[in-house]
Structure 1
């Protein structure tokens, strides 16, 4: 029968308890509570490794609660399944003495900070995954002790149950929590960086998007959209810049370099943990000026005055559905449309990949330089903005005049 907290609190050394023979109470799953003759209570995990019965003291009660002891006991079982002797991997089983550098404490702060800025459904999904897939592995560890193999073990464990996309998501979340610790000055490195390449390749999921021939109708529908003005302007911003929707939603006024006409996105907001430069065409600067005149927020550009936080992902998805594009177009679709069209028109591949801030492991990302091909990219983004305007006007056959190859030779 499993133990309970009230039962444990009442336990005292029995008449037969001696210094060499403590009382032992089973909680099931080979987890036991030892009550010593001094009255102290310790948790012991019994297990079998290399065909030998072994035991490991994992903590004292009440410093380690019943729930924590069960979690730690399960972590030991997980290590054994991976062929790791828990006694030889003590760092995985060390608790932070004061809790300030415990990975779990930092993770909780990161999730709490996000809760006010993301959709409840997204928060619930990510927090549930943390509790289920990440915390059991490293939640108890001092963040300074966590290594890349520790993080990779999380992804591998999820991968073995046939969920490769979820494995990548868990490892990315772990990386984001490390960024939180870096911002708090607790660590200086992020062992989760670039680890997803160690997982099995997965099939690319293509986001729904319209074709370049269907683009004029989409642009006209966006222009005619009668919903929230900032959502409408957000769509035009996505059209002109093809940034990720999340990057757009959390855009801050302080990130805009008005003199250079560049949006400088800091590394901690980017998927690949690298700063990103977005050249801003005159059409984009005009949108920013229009929003600035509304005086909605001193911090966020796309600020929802109703919820008092940046717009949610659902705001843009719902708007597309209302325009009749459910299953036909997504916010991410603007990126795919831009990539396909620019490649078809002969634009420089490396410049397109840099502007998309793709995570592909290639020569571009290995030798990343945020300002690489910036003059060419600026010209490309200006032409792309003109392409959007011409497409809206129905001049789809006359846009982007095939001079990208010439520009590549000029600016390469």
Structure 2
């Protein structure tokens, strides 16, 4: 039965209506009215192109009346009869019109503003994700024609790669762009709201790591390693300092304060975008002096002269594999090993967390100070180094 204005005006979302499954009412000949969970009513033209079912958004009711929607639906049928893809035709029309309402135009301005205050590493990560995952799907669309299913498609595509949290973050960022557009008068609604529940929670996987009882054998195997000397020293450095592998890889000589015996990592190199201080025990300084004497690079500490750039993360992983620690130990595993052992030895939890540069959930962390408890942490790191040295000398822990 064909729709009427009276019927349309009485339509409200049913109990079965969800953000991803609107109520659908047919007017015939492929013209449908979709009623969303928000109460918005959108005209959709359904058709087949090259054997595949397609839909094209025509506009919102009542801005686009029933009569006008039928007229536009007939135009689409004529395009199909003429062998024209309606979606491609719509893109061409949009490209020839004022592009200020295209999603990509709005997004590019939003990212340009973000670039002025975000850390370079954070901006690069977010913007690269936009170019890779968002722009190809909705960048060419007029912003008010974008639907929740369009955005959910983006999230599901990312989720299919196993990147659940990234999927949530990308959809949330799309939502922020819509909020920006609404404030600027370029959009009327935000279809990215309330979509995060559609992405399955990420299942946390613990990084493989040995126990403290296995540490003596690991240290012996590292000392016996015959591969690249800088990789060998890098593994020892990870054991002494338990920093993240990426922090180690891009360590620069200019960040080392030899007099203060500290390594000061700038915020843009840290996962949490905050500067970090690593006290350097005498044994760690000796490692750095050994590397310095090799003269491989005036900039990077863990520099591969063969590739003329810092060692890759795989260099350290592969070295552990060669020693027989595949599925048993990773570069990140040194962090869990140190955390567990230091907690067992009774060191202050907050100091351990600060040294690990973890994101803390309490209010104190909001005013994070990289030098907090530095004196205590310096003693802790020196004592941890003494513990590692004792194992190296005696082959057992204490």
Matched residue, 2:331: 331
Partners in 2 of 1:221 and 1:271 — Cα distance? 30
* Structure 2: stretches of 5+ with no match in the other structure: 1-44, 48-55, 73-86, 95-99, 142-149, 172-195
1:203 is aligned to 2:208? no
Partners in 1 of 2:396 and 2:152 — Cα distance? 45
Query: In the alignment, is the contact (CA less than 8 A) between 1:155 and 1:171 conserved in 2?
Result: no
Flag the 1:93–1:317 CA change in 2: closer, same or farther, 3 A: closer
CA displacement, residues 69-107 of structure 1 (integer Å, 9 cap, x when unaligned): 97x96xx9xxxxxxxxxxxx9484536999x95999xxx
Query: In the alignment, is the contact (CA less than 8 A) between 2:239 and 2:334 conserved in 1?
Result: yes
- The equivalences for 1:259-298 within 5 A come to 259-298=259-298
SS at match of 2:239: helix
Matched residue, 2:183: none
1:47 is aligned to 2:58? yes
Question: Residue 363 of structure 1: CA displacement?
Answer: 3.6
Partners in 2 of 1:264 and 1:138 — Cα distance? 42
Matched residue, 1:232: 232
Partners in 1 of 2:275 and 2:138 — Cα distance? 28
SS at match of 1:268: helix
Matched residue, 1:168: 165
Matched residue, 2:316: 316
1:221 is aligned to 2:221? yes
SS at match of 2:375: helix
Question: Residue 317 of structure 1: CA displacement?
Answer: 1.1
1:94 is aligned to 2:105? yes
SS at match of 1:94: helix
Flag the 1:367–1:202 CA change in 2: closer, same or farther, 3 A: farther
Question: Residue 346 of structure 1: CA displacement?
Answer: 1.1
Provide the TM-score with structure 2 as the length reference.
Answer: 0.59
Between the two proteins, the alignment pairs up a number of residues equal to 281
Question: Residue 253 of structure 1: CA displacement?
Answer: 0.5
Question: Residue 243 of structure 1: CA displacement?
Answer: 0.2
CA displacement, residues 196-224 of structure 1 (integer Å, 9 cap, x when unaligned): x9998633210000100000000000000
Flag the 1:212–1:90 CA change in 2: closer, same or farther, 3 A: same
Partners in 1 of 2:152 and 2:233 — Cα distance? 38
1:347 is aligned to 2:347? yes
Matched residue, 1:243: 243
Question: Residue 390 of structure 1: CA displacement?
Answer: 1.4
Partners in 1 of 2:287 and 2:224 — Cα distance? 16
Matched residue, 2:300: 300
Query: In the alignment, is the contact (CA less than 8 A) between 1:103 and 1:140 conserved in 2?
Result: no
Query: In the alignment, is the contact (CA less than 8 A) between 2:155 and 2:170 conserved in 1?
Result: no
Partners in 1 of 2:153 and 2:365 — Cα distance? 24
1:158 is aligned to 2:155? yes
Partners in 2 of 1:273 and 1:333 — Cα distance? 22
Question: Residue 359 of structure 1: CA displacement?
Answer: 2.4
Question: Residue 134 of structure 1: CA displacement?
Answer: 4.0
Matched residue, 1:135: 135
- The equivalences for 1:94-113 within 5 A come to 94=105, 101=112
Flag the 1:168–1:139 CA change in 2: closer, same or farther, 3 A: farther
SS at match of 1:278: strand
Partners in 2 of 1:343 and 1:136 — Cα distance? 48
SS at match of 1:300: coil
* Structure 1: stretches of 5+ with no match in the other structure: 1-27, 31-44, 56-68, 77-88, 115-122, 142-152, 175-196, 399-412
CA displacement, residues 352-404 of structure 1 (integer Å, 9 cap, x when unaligned): 11111112433453221111111011111111111111122336442xxxxxx
Q: CA RMSD in A?
A: 4.4
SS at match of 2:394: coil
Matched residue, 1:393: 393
